[in-house]
Structure 1
């Protein structure tokens, strides 16, 4: 009995693999390495190099490793880029999920934890979202994640698939010194690269309706996130009923200026961020409540903001020495 982690060589997926092992589950990784890194897969963990669009590979992997459940992390995750590449985004995130569910149904695999996104909410009317907040995604990425949730829901009705979807905003930090965020689009690696290049990071707008004038968002530590994925898998294995979706959120968030202050402290590189114009469409504040996940999935914010920064910085320096 084992759990397949699609995208298990990626930043989030590799942490999920370790969390599954920590819960006594046996992870198997499938990843096409389009953004994942092969060395992120621990020694001894089976690894299938390929795409979730390959139904035959999915079936072989399930058969060869006795897969009984799936944590579905694989996908095209860049919301901004998805606007320029909608067809690619839908192929990877919608067609890919449908292929995965088809392979699971063919092989009698009846449980899945889906890595969704708070992007399903778009820009809500409220500054704190709960699971029932209306869904108004504003990018092909957000739309594709919502469709993924619908696919799970409908397959649950049709075939008894047991499932839950986990929604979250900004994932940061590192739970292991050899795992780092290599995304060219995420805030932490962008700031780190600017500092390493001797450039000054910038803040887009400082006149928002927030305590310090900069946008407030949820930032959650990747290791905390991974724990809740693994707990969800274990509970599905035990036959427990879970909510169809959970927010993994802080409930209060942090501002961009607070992030920059923590960056200066955590890296030891003093800087005063440049202030750039606002970006169109950025709301003042969006955070998510995580009360349901705290009740059911052992969700909690175990790391301070400074710990998020320092863990990410140490992993970044270990990967590419400054």
Structure 2
């Protein structure tokens, strides 16, 4: 039996693949390679090139590889861009999730871990977000992730009395950073770490998006969580589902503290040894001032921990990016 990782050739998915293998589980990757890289997939892991929108490809992959569960990481992940491309965002994230659930039902696969997002909360009016905090997405991306959670919930209800009830959980997190493998790094042109790394490599001054947010230093505050820790939580959730253990419908993988963009920039200077003062550009649409979540529930059930300091996050990500040349 194996676990299918959709988007397993991407930055987060590739780390999930490695964590599955390290835990003694057999990963299989389905990726259309629109942003993923074949080189991120270990040579001994099966890679199926195809779209999650293609029902036949998804179902045949589930059947061919005797899949017992899906870790659904694939999706269009750019909150700011989703404001300009809402239809594309909904196609990839909502229709894609629906197709996966449909294929799973046809193939008799009953376990799914869904890669959701803290973006489902929008701009919360509480200092610390819990799983029960009101869901008020501020972008089509956040809306699409919330709808994905609803799809899992509704399919779970619909199959509850059947011979193959859907078991599911959704993991919510925001800024995933760093690297747990020197061959895998964040390739997104929209995420803070790769934006800064590329600027430093090219000898440019890094820029940040806005310094007029309603926060102590004017830059937005987020949970920054290490990709290796995120991957371990996905595997823990998969094991819990497969083992028939009780599991919550959703978990926040939060730091409980949060860091501002300025604090990240200060760590960049410390770790890289390159002294700079970031340029300030306009805000990105859909970006809230602050979103920080507690991870207490995930710590209870999924061994969720913040195992890395901010400097370690920067150092591991910087090393992986420089290793790529």
- Category of TM-score, reference length = shorter chain: over 0.9
Q: What is the 5 A alignment of 1:274-293?
A: 274-276=279-281, 283-293=288-298
| Inter-partner Cα distance in structure 1 for 2:288 and 2:94 | 27
Matches within 5 A, 1:2-41: 2-41=2-41
- Matches of 1:194 and 1:14 in 2, distance apart? 24
Q: Does 1:223 pair with 2:215?
A: no
1:182 alignment counterpart: 187
Indicate the SS of the match to 1:164.
Answer: strand
The separation in 1 between residues aligned to 2:166 and 2:96, in whole angstroms, is: 17
TM-fit CA distance, 1:197: 2.1
Report how many aligned residue pairs link the two structures. 320
Aligned partner of 2:203 among 192, 198, 203: 198
- Residues of 2 paired with 1:214 and 1:84: CA distance? 23
Structure 2 stretches of 5 or more lacking a match? 160-164
Cα deviation for residue 280 of structure 1 reads 6.8
TM-score, normalised by the number of residues in structure 1: 0.95
Match of 2:162 in 1: none
Equivalent pair of 1:6/1:71 in contact (CA under 8 Å): yes
2:80 partner SS: helix
Deviation at 1:214, TM superposition (A): 3.0
Say what the alpha-carbon RMSD is for the aligned residues: 1.5
Unaligned runs of 5+ in 1: none
The farther-off stretch of 243-252 and 76-85 is 76-85
Distance 1:3 1:277, change over 3 A: closer
* Alpha-carbon distance between aligned partners in 2 of 1:299 and 1:20, rounded to the nearest angstrom: 16
> Are the counterparts in 2 of residues 23 and 231 from structure 1 also a CA contact under 8 Å?
no
Taking structure 2 as the reference length, what is the TM-score of the superposition?
Answer: 0.95
Mapped partners of 2:285, 2:80: distance in 1:
12
SS of residue paired to 1:288: coil
In the alignment, the residues of structure 2 paired with residue 143 and residue 209 of structure 1 have an alpha-carbon distance, to the nearest angstrom, of 23
| C-alpha distance in 2 between matches for 1:81 and 1:19 | 30
Which residue number in structure 2 is paired with residue 150 of structure 1? 150
Q: Secondary structure at the match of 2:170?
A: strand
Over 6 Å off, 4+ runs: none
